[in-house]
């Protein structure tokens, strides 16, 4: 018998689709909402191919409150997992109002529907960006909201606050906020992975484009940081580990707000990532050192102990798995063309 039904907003996106797969594999019934702004409808076919179960999909924009209410009226959801939102850091600096409007209003509409239709369980996709510029390792007791360098990051911080306030006003509400570090990699099937529309901004999608010859070389933003090799250090986490963290969070939801880092606790530098990718592909990855990118921090990595202690979740896949699965995804994409 299917376990309780989960609504996934942004479920055709990178993290949402991997989470849908893990939820279905764990026996949950999943319904996906997406406006397909930065993802493709055929992701649903791929989820069906991986799991043997086709989730119900509705193309809805969270800004369309009337359409969202119709979904809730029919859905009988036990829990909402909220991934939908805009996430391009650079674009958020250029178009702040678009980010505040869409990310905040979309979430507020979702929360209105949850309250109106008696759905009181929420898992929210937040980001380590809320810690701002504090020294790593970052843990959940640290203050947030100082040194956030872009409107995208502020929307995550503000949504966390909105969720906390809703939980105070509605004690029947349970919410878990997951702060992601740097998700990379792809599903082992090679069917789903990161496939952003337009020009990528994050490291791995750019490395993928360089490997495919679509971008001539990777520009490494600075090698004069106070880190072992001078390039920035991040906590890269395999997207399948991240997705499994959502299942663990769901199974532990209880009233009030809980916050967890989802990271590995281990930092890797940009040069280490380049080396690992070259080793996995057997080919050098063209790269050059350029100046620093505004807003980048030298070292960002998680203290992941709380999720392990309370959720029993720990990242298991390493950088070699991340590279191998990224390459497999690229090969599967190329084979289709």
The stretch near ligand UD1 (CB under 6 A) out of 4-12, 41-49, 216-224, 246-254 is: 216-224
C-beta neighbour count of 12 within 10 angstroms: 30
193 binds ligand UD1 (CB under 6 A): no
202 binds ligand UD1 (CB under 6 A): yes
Return the closest-CA partner of residue 143 out of 245, 259, 235, 256: 259
Q: Of residues 18, 46, 82, 87, which one binds ligand UD1 by CB under 6 A?
A: 87
Q: Among 37, 100, 117, 221, which residue sits at the site for ligand UD1 (rule: CB under 6 A)?
A: 221
Query: What's the min distance (Å) between Cβ of 235 and ligand UD1?
Result: 9
Closest Cα to residue 104, out of 92, 115, 116?
92
Q: Out of 219, 223, 278, 281, point to the residue binding ligand UD1 (CB under 6 A).
A: 219
Is residue 293 packed enough to be buried (19+ CB in 10 Å), middle (13-18) or exposed (0-12)? middle
- The closest residue (CB) to ligand UD1 is 232
Residue whose pair of structure tokens reads 């570090």 in the numeric block: 181
Q: For the window 287-316, what string marks contact with ligand UD1 as x by the rule CB under 6 A?
A: ------x-xx---x----------------
In the 8-state DSSP scheme, what is residue 302? B
In the complex, the smallest distance separating the C-beta of residue 207 from ligand UD1, rounded to whole angstroms, is 8
Q: What are the CA-CA distances from residue 225 to residues 229, 271, 277, 322 (Å)?
A: 8, 12, 22, 25
Is 234 a residue that touches ligand UD1 (CB under 6 A)? Answer: yes
Q: Residue 238: which of 209, 272, 204 has the closest Cα?
A: 204
SS3 of residue 32 by DSSP:
strand
Q: Judged by CB under 6 A, does residue 127 bind ligand UD1? A: yes
7 binds ligand UD1 (CB under 6 A): no
Residue 64 or residue 91: which is nearer to ligand UD1 going by CB? 91
User: Residues 142, 206, 285, 332: which binds ligand UD1 (CB under 6 A)?
Assistant: 206
Beta strands at 233-234 and 268-269: parallel, antiparallel or unpaired: antiparallel
- How far apart are CB 153 and ligand UD1 at their closest, in Å? 5
């Amino acid at each position: 018998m299917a376990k309780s039904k989960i609504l996934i907003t942004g479920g055709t996106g990178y993290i949402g689709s991997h989470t849908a797969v893990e939820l279905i594999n764990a026996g949950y019934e999943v319904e996906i909402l997406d406006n397909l702004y930065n993802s493709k409808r055929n992701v649903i076919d791929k989820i069906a191919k991986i799991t043997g179960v086709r989730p119900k999909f509705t193309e809805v924009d969270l800004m369309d409150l009337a359409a969202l209410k119709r979904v809730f009226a029919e859905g009988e959801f036990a829990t909402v997992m909220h991934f939908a939102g805009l996430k391009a850091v650079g674009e958020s600096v250029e178009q702040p109002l678009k980010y505040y409007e869409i990310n905040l209003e979309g979430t507020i509409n979702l929360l209105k529907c949850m309250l109106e239709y008696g759905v009181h369980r929420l898992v929210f996709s937040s980001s380590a960006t809320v810690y701002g510029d504090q020294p790593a390792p970052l843990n959940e007791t640290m203050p947030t909201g100082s040194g956030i360098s872009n409107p995208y990051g502020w929307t995550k911080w503000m949504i966390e606050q909105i969720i906390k306030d809703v939980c105070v006003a509605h004690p029947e509400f349970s919410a878990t906020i997951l702060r992601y570090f740097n998700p990379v990699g792809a599903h082992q099937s090679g069917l789903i992975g990161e496939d952003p529309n337009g020009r990528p901004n994050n490291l791995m999608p750019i490395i993928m484009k360089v490997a495919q010859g679509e971008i001539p070389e990777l520009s490494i933003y600075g090698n004069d940081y106070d880190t072992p090799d001078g390039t920035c250090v991040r906590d890269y986490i395999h997207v399948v580990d991240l997705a499994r963290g959502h299942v663990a969070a769901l199974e532990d939801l209880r009233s009030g707000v809980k916050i967890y880092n989802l990271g590995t606790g281990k930092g890797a530098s940009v040069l280490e990532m380049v080396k690992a990718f070259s080793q996995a592909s057997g080919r050098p990855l063209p790269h050059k050192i350029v100046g620093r990118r505004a807003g980048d921090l030298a070292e960002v990595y998680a203290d992941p102990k709380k999720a392990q202690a309370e959720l029993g979740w720990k990242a298991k896949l390493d950088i070699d798995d991340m590279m191998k699965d990224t390459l497999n995804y690229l090969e599967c994409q190329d084979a289709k063309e």
